[in-house]
């Protein structure tokens, strides 16, 4: 446990300069306009927090400090969550979801990291749920997924207000092993770079496999 905590602390320390830079950039921007462009909530009766839902969990970005906390218990958000949400806010331009899907390979520079992403994200779905479509459907529906017409079973997830991901599963049989894909709405890259979209895909898979 001590080793794990030390590793997490080191990872957090590595991200602190990035968080500080993002906060500085955001503090020079119009918070209300950012909220509109990000599809976020700005509940003025509860202060000037920008409210964002990340895979169903609500976070508050205090304004103008741009510090991030979990709404459920008021605790500071994990460093990697802060980086992702602050980057999303900084890049937000109001582009709505396109309604068309891209594979990870089709994202900017996605071809370089496709094999790695496939191994630690969708392949885990195939290995754990590839021969149990009912279990995949239950996990997806419990995670807020909406049915999509792809593969043997597929669901779309609103990871952030303007970012949709999809999990697609093809069931295995005697001839072919099960396979899975995580797809990204075509507008995703306007909000997050490919490395953070990979992180989002990994978090979605972790949620489905809980």
Domain ranges of the chain: 2-91, 101-208
Which whole number is the average pLDDT over 20-32?
94
Which whole number is the average pLDDT over 151-161?
97
Q: Which two tokens stand for residue 146?
A: 């909406």
* pLDDT surpassing 50 at residue 45: no
Contact 156, 174 (CB under 8 A): no
Q: Give which of 145, 55, 156, 41 is closest to 89, Cα–Cα.
A: 41
What angle separates helix 2-27 from helix 79-91, to the nearest 10 degrees?
A: 20
Q: What is the pLDDT of residues 124-140, one digit of tens each?
A: 999 999 989 999 999 99
SS3 33: helix
Q: Which two tokens stand for residue 126?
A: 């195939």
CB neighbours (10 Å) of residue 149? Answer: 5
| CATH match for 101-208 among 3.30.200, 3.90.25, 1.10.3470, 3.30.310 | 3.30.310
Average pLDDT, the chain: 92
SS3 31: helix
pTM of the model: 0.91
* pLDDT surpassing 70 at residue 7: no
């Amino acid at each position: 446990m001590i080793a794990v905590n030390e590793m997490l602390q080191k990872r957090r320390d590595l991200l602190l300069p990035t968080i500080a830079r993002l906060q500085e950039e955001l503090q020079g921007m119009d918070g209300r306009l950012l909220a509109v462009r990000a599809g976020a909530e700005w509940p003025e009766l509860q202060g000037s927090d920008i409210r964002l839902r990340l895979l169903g969990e609500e976070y508050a970005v205090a304004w103008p400090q741009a510090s991030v906390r979990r709404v459920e218990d008021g605790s500071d958000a994990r460093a990697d969550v802060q980086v992702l949400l602050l980057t999303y806010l900084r890049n937000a331009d109001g582009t709505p979801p396109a309604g068309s899907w891209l594979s990870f390979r089709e994202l900017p520079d996605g071809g370089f990291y496709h094999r790695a992403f496939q191994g630690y994200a969708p392949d885990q779905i195939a290995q754990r749920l590839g021969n149990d479509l009912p279990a995949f459907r239950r996990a997806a529906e419990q995670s807020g997924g909406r049915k999509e017409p792809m593969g043997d079973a597929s669901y779309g997830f609103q990871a952030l207000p303007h970012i949709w991901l999809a999990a697609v599963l093809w069931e295995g049989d005697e001839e072919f092993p099960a396979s899975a894909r995580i797809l990204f709405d075509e507008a995703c890259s306007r909000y997050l770079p490919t490395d953070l979209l990979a992180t989002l895909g990994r978090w979605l898979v972790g949620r489905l496999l809980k």
